[in-house]
Each structure stands twice: as structure tokens, then as C-alpha cells.
Amino acid sequence: MMASAQVQAVVEEASKMQQQEKPKEQNDDSAGEKEEHSDVPSPRTARHPLENVWTLWYLENDRTKHWKDMLSEVAKIDSVETFWSLYYTIRPPSELKVGCDYSMFKMGIKPMWEDEANSRGGRWLISVNKNSKAELDRLWLDILLMMTARIFANSEEICGAVINIRAKNNKISLWTANGSNKLAILEIGQKLKLFLHLQSNNLQYQLHSDAMCKANSSVKSIYTV
């Protein structure tokens, strides 16, 4: 099974379980009464809400502007339908210009180290070869699906994900809230490696505090899977 198909199968199963856990709004005795209301959504218009509301951000590379001024909010994502509608509307990461980013974070969290929700955390980082455009798009989509479906045992630790389009190697990272929570970090990393079919040592965890303090040198990784 291809990685994307495997991830989507798990996502669908997780979504079914989430729907089953929600209490029914009415019993069979009121079924007839429900049909009389014209505002009841049909299967075509029914929405499948996500457990968390997410925000998609876009960073347009413009050296005449400050970094924060290059960042703009694209849309809120609160349902499965909203997610796919947006995904098929915007350009895939492989078509972005060098220096541009996509970010998707839980609502209320900005894609920057300084945000209170991110400042004490870190990121699982994947480097993707410039020639692997299809692989880049697949990995990005799979990570978004894994986040929104909450298939991690420690989903509460997830803040968001970022994809950086760069001149040498492109980067995809999954950000977590607490860089000291070793068990949660490793569970998330192992699951990423498994579902994304990553090679050994291609997934590294870095603390945001180390990234903020670096001076023209690579950031050390505290975990590698």
C-alpha cells in the first residue's frame, strides 16, 4: 500500500471512531419529525467537523519586507470538507517559489518560534531532495492528514506543521509544544517514520530554543529516528 493511501485509510478509520463517540442528537421516535424540517443538512451538504480548528498560513518571499510582514493568514479549516476544498484550490508546495512557506497550525498559534505555544517546544524535521517534487507533496499532505485526524497518541502536543521551499533542500517540520516531553516526542517521531515510510536517520528533532540561538551553524538534533 502506498504511504498516502495508508495514511488516508487510517484517517478515515479515525474519523469514523470520532463520529461514533459523539452522542446521537435524537432517538428513533423523533425520526419522522426530523424529516419535516427543511434546514436539516442532506448527505451532500453534511459537514464533518475536525477535532481542532486549524489555520493555513502562507509566507511570500520578499526581501524588502520584515519576516512577519511576509506572513499572511489564508483560511480557517474546521471540517473535512473545508480541508479538501482548500487543498485542491491552492498551489501544491512543489509549485511554490524558492523562499516561500506553507504552515498549518492549530487556531490561535502563529507559525513562529516566539509564539507562547511554541517557545518551549521543538520540531521533527525532514529534508527532501529538490528533485523529489511528488515526494514533497505527498509528505506534506500525509502530515496534514495525520495532524487533523489526531492519529498520534499525544496529539495534544502537536502545534502545527511547516514546509519551507529552499534553494538546496526543501524542509518539512512538525512542531510540538513541550521539548522536555521525551515520551510524547518519540511517540510522534516513531509514528511519522512508520506512516511516512522514512529512511533511518532522516527524521531529526530540534529544540526551538537552539534554533533561536544559532549563529550561522547547523542546529543540533536531540533525537533521531
d(CA 71, CA 58): 6
Amino acid in the structure at residue 220: K
Q: Is residue 9 part of a domain?
A: no
Mean pLDDT over all residues of the chain?
Answer: 84
Q: Is residue 205 part of a domain?
A: yes
% of the chain residues with pLDDT over 90: 67
Q: What is the pLDDT of residue 32?
A: 44
| Beta partners for residue 105, in sequence order | 55, 160
Banded model confidence at residue 13, pLDDT cuts 50, 70, 90: low
Cut 0.85: pTM above it: no
Q: How many domains does the chain have?
A: 1
Question: Which CATH number covers residue 166?
Answer: 3.30.760.10
Q: What is the pLDDT of residue 4?
A: 57
Q: What is the pLDDT of residue 109?
A: 98
The 8-class DSSP code of residue 123 comes to E
The 8-class DSSP code of residue 129 comes to -
Classified as helix, coil or strand, 4 is helix
- Segment holding 115, helix H or strand E: none
Q: Is residue 43 part of a domain?
A: no
| Domain range for 90 | 48-224
Q: Which of 159, 153, 192 is nearest to 177 (CA)?
A: 159
Q: Is residue 39 part of a domain?
A: no
Q: Is the pLDDT of residue 8 over 90?
A: no
Q: Is the pLDDT of residue 2 over 70?
A: no
Residue with cell 543540533: 220
Q: Is the pLDDT of residue 54 over 80?
A: yes
Q: Is residue 41 part of a domain?
A: no
Q: What is the pLDDT of residue 21?
A: 46
Lowest pLDDT segment from 30-34, 79-83, 169-173: 30-34
b or e along 54-67 (b: 16 or more beta carbons within 10 Å of the residue's beta carbon)?
A: bbbbbbeeeeeeee
User: What tens digit of pLDDT does each residue of 166-219 get?
Assistant: 998 999 999 999 999 999 999 999 999 999 999 877 899 999 999 888 755 588
Higher pLDDT, 200 or 1: 200
| Beta partners for residue 224, in sequence order | 204
Q: What is the pLDDT of residue 167?
A: 92
Q: Is residue 34 part of a domain?
A: no
Q: Is residue 107 part of a domain?
A: yes
- Segment holding 2, helix H or strand E: none
Q: Is residue 17 part of a domain?
A: no
Banded model confidence at residue 18, pLDDT cuts 50, 70, 90: very low
Q: What is the pLDDT of residue 38?
A: 45
Phi, psi dihedrals of residue 125, rounded to the nearest 5°: -115, 130
- Segment holding 224, helix H or strand E: strand 223-224
User: What tens digit of pLDDT does each residue of 133-155 get?
Assistant: 999 999 999 999 999 999 999 99
CB 196 within 8 A of CB 209: no
Higher pLDDT, 200 or 53: 53
What are the C-alpha distances in Å from 138 to residues 39, 48, 92, 143?
38, 23, 10, 9
Give mean pLDDT, residues 105-134. Answer: 95
